[in-house]
Amino acid sequence: MVERAKTTATFHLVIISGKAYVEKYKDAIQTRDVFTIWGILQLLRKYPGRLPDLEIMFETEDRPVIKSSDYRGPNATTGPPPLFRYCGDKETLDIVFPDWSFWGWQDLLKCNVSDQQDWNARLFIQDWISEGQQGFKQSNVADQCTYRYKIYIEGFAWSVSEKYILACDSVTLIVQPHYYDFFMRSMQPVEHYWPIRDDDKCRSLKFAVDWGNNHKKKAQEIGKAASSFMQEQLKMDYIYDYMFHLLNEYAKLLKFEPKIPEGAVELCSEVMACQAEGLEGRKKQFMMESLVKGPSTTSPCTLPPPYEIPTLAAFLRRKINSIMQVKKWETSYWENLNKQ
């Protein structure tokens, strides 16, 4: 079944006796594959001998591709092939894994200020191709955290910028997302971020900024709650523990003995770091900064039990209710404004 994911996978990774072997199928965007593999190697350094033998197919493209509708109903004769990637959505079954960067887009341009209307938003364009070629010199996240509000909107799919925006202490205005990464579903609207309608973005942004300016204390609390979540819940120790438990639980489902594929190359941190080139020397720098220095002196955290259905339902209901409440406030705001 794992082999069936080969048609879309970027690379095939096998762990046997604590060693990692990689078979590459296609080139990845920028260095996504390199740092994803690097992250898994750091996990093996942190918890040596603790991961079982396993093999995974990993795709580094943006959008999930394993459609759940293809594996339902009387015509479904087999289960979905397991494919790891950085994001998922409600229509797919791809396995969501932390993105490579742990080591807004054209649709919003029309919301920029004009002679006729100021939506209280300013958009700044990022040329990611140019930035990648120059080592991301103009992408200092700290320099972008000086604004009271920051907007997150998906482009072609989910974006790694999401977590950096949420970590800023600013109020994050999130345009209704279609995709999710491995942590976003734990966050609550109005508690950690402000939800923005995807069918009326400019008016929704205008209301959000006006509301925040009139409720500064609450707005500051929202910004602080998001940055605290990022700092406390996304510590690297927790990221590694998430990876550890995800891969362990995945390995329990394998019905075969993993084997090293022909053409696979054994990789270790030392070899990858020595061979690192590109991004004007920053590639090796990033590796050295994120290198796990030695085995952990503590065990991974204990995997909590699955949500009970009523508890999960209450959590999801709270999220829906918060979004609906904001929509009601927004509708009332524009109705009153139009009467003036």
Task: Please report, for the chain, the start and end positions of each structural domain, with discontinuous segments joined by +.
Answer: 2-98+237-290, 104-181+184-233+307-339
Q: Is the pLDDT of residue 130 over 90?
A: no
Q: How far is CA 166 from CA 82, 229, 278, in A?
A: 30, 9, 29
Looking at 138-181, which runs of residues are DSSP E strands? 149-152, 171-175
Residue 301: predicted pLDDT: 96
Overall CATH class of domain 104-181+184-233+307-339: alpha beta
Query: Would you place residue 144 in the very low, low, confident or very high pLDDT band (cuts 50, 70, 90)?
Result: low
Query: Would you place residue 127 in the very low, low, confident or very high pLDDT band (cuts 50, 70, 90)?
Result: low
Q: How many CA atoms lie within 13 A of 51 on its CB side?
A: 30
Residue 121: predicted pLDDT: 54
Q: Is the pLDDT of residue 141 over 80?
A: no
Structure tokens at 127: 């040329």
Counts of helices then strands in the chain (DSSP H, E): 9, 9
Are 78 and 66 a contacting pair, CB within 8 Å? Answer: no
Mean pLDDT lowest among 78-87, 237-246, 279-288: 279-288
| Close Cβ partners of 281 (under 8 Å, ≥ 6 residues apart) | 135
Query: Would you place residue 76 in the very low, low, confident or very high pLDDT band (cuts 50, 70, 90)?
Result: confident
* 283-310 residue pLDDT tens: 888 898 899 999 999 999 999 999 999 9
Residue 297: predicted pLDDT: 96
